[in-house]
Structure 1
Amino acid sequence: MKLRTTLGASLGALALALSMAGSAQAAQGSFHYKYVDGYGQEQHVALADPHSGKCINLYGVGDDEELPGYGPQNDTDTAVTVYLGANCEGSAWRLRAHGKPAKDTLEVRSVRFDAPEGGTAAN
């Protein structure tokens, strides 16, 4: 019986440690971009503490059939690569951490934030 209790506690501690490690895989801060919605209104979107090392298709513009977003600003603590295509494909540009807003001529559909030091990247 003690073996089951010890094994259960060990597995629980391992699961907790892994979940905490996963939450550390986020860029700290916000990433901003703009897009024009279906009513012709400009919308401003902010991603708070976005996941690092993973491709993110952006809301409202993350499909190649939609108009792209524009004017991205990376106000996170890690660099980001912005892509003109969905699924982190197509032309790409790097934006440094805590950078100034890009011009509205820079279009974006998807992004990938650098993995933090010591972290691993995921697809």
Structure 2
Amino acid sequence: MRLRNTVAAAVAAFALVLSAPGPALAADGEFTYTYLDEDGTARVGLLIDPESRECVNLPEADSDELPSAYAPKNRTGATATVFTAIDCDGDYYSLRPGGGASDRLKLRSVVFS
């Protein structure tokens, strides 16, 4: 009888572990940056709750024909690592949660921890 109860408890515990939700895979909050539109006017780009551990190419700066984005502001709960090239390549700089950088920091892609 004890063995049956032990096995039943183990099976129930295993089922509970499998049904528990996994960790959240999003950097909650907003990430902003400035870019120049086709007329040369400064605009603000926005990523809301971006996926963690996934490289994001900024659509307004995703080719060498377009100017780089600049002045990122990390208002997420995760560290944002910004890159000077697309596909999270090139030189990089990390922004802590709540941090930002000046107009001198150029970027084309970002990944969140």
Same fold (TM over 0.5): yes
Structure 2, unaligned stretches of length 5 or more?
1-18
Displacement, 1:41?
1.0
| 2:68 aligned residue | 68
1:54 corresponds in structure 2 to 54
Contact 1:81 1:111 in 2 (8 A): yes
Q: TM-score, normalised by structure 2?
A: 0.78
Counterpart amino acid of residue 49 in structure 1: D
The one-letter code sitting in structure 1 at the alignment partner of 2:59 is Y
- How far apart are 1:64 and its partner, in Å? 2.9
| TM-score normalised according to structure 1 size | 0.72
Letter in 1 for 2:96: R
Unaligned runs of 5+ in 1: 1-16, 115-123
The answer on 1:79 being equivalent to 2:79 is yes
Equivalent AA in structure 2 for residue 25 of structure 1:
L
RMSD in angstroms over aligned alpha carbons? Answer: 1.7
**3-state SS of 2:82 partner:** strand
Deviation at 1:40, TM superposition (A): 1.1
Larger Rg: 2
Runs of at least 4 residues of structure 1 off by over 6 A? none
Is the Cα contact below 8 Å between 1:57 and 1:63 reproduced in 2?
Answer: no
Q: Aligned-pair distance for 1:111?
A: 0.3
Greater fraction of residues in strand: 2
